[in-house]
Amino acid sequence: MGARGVVALAFTVVVVATGCAGRRIESGVFHSPKGYRVGIPGAEWTVIEASGADLELRHRTAPVAMLANATCGEATPAARLDVLSRHLLMGFQSRAIVEWEDVAVDGRRAVHAVLDGRLAAGEALTRVETYVMKDERCVYDFALVAPPESFETWRTAFRELVDTFATE
């Protein structure tokens, strides 16, 4: 399986832990019906309409993807952020934590993680970066999936998406 296929499969694993919702994009800003918004990092990103996440973006030419998603209402998990972060990364084997820290996103505590993992024995290594946070209404998940060798190239665009997060 090529790098693009591995990234697509890895992203599917992350998306399975998320939900589905309608999409509205105005002037490069995604507005979720779940009451939050994020900016889309640039024209080189394509919105995947048939995604299980609120917003899934794939790069037009590189095997990299990112997502934003919220789980709200009665479906909102009550678990601690570190547990929610680990749940988001289920499905990856041979996981090696590269970074794990508490950070602030839009003034809220978030767990930030970067890990290398494989979806199955013999598959290419994939690097995943996540931010997980919650408030009284929702759990918010953000993820970046890319091959390790090109991962650093995409972190700035991903951080731009995360940094534009705000509730409405």
CATH number of the domain within which 70 lies: 3.40.1000.10
Mapped onto helix, strand or coil, the DSSP state of residue 47 is strand
| Cα–Cα distance, 158 to 161 (Å, whole number) | 5
149, part of any domain: no
* Domain assignment of residue 168, yes or no: no
Domain limits for position 121: 3-142
Q: Note whether residue 86 is domain-resident.
A: yes
Stretch 146-166: mean pLDDT: 96
- If one compares 51 and 157, the residue with the highest pLDDT of the two is 157
Is 148 a domain residue? no
Structure tokens at 5: 């296929």
pTM for this one? 0.80
Whether 15 shows a pLDDT value over 60: the answer reads no
pLDDT tens column, 46-85: 999 888 899 999 999 999 999 999 999 876 666 777 777 7
Mean pLDDT for 121-130 is 84
The verdict on residue 101 lying in a domain is: yes
Residue with tokens 């509730």: 167
Query: Confidence class of residue 13 from pLDDT cuts 50, 70 and 90?
Result: very low
Query: Does residue 159 sit within a domain?
Result: no
Number of domains in the chain: 1
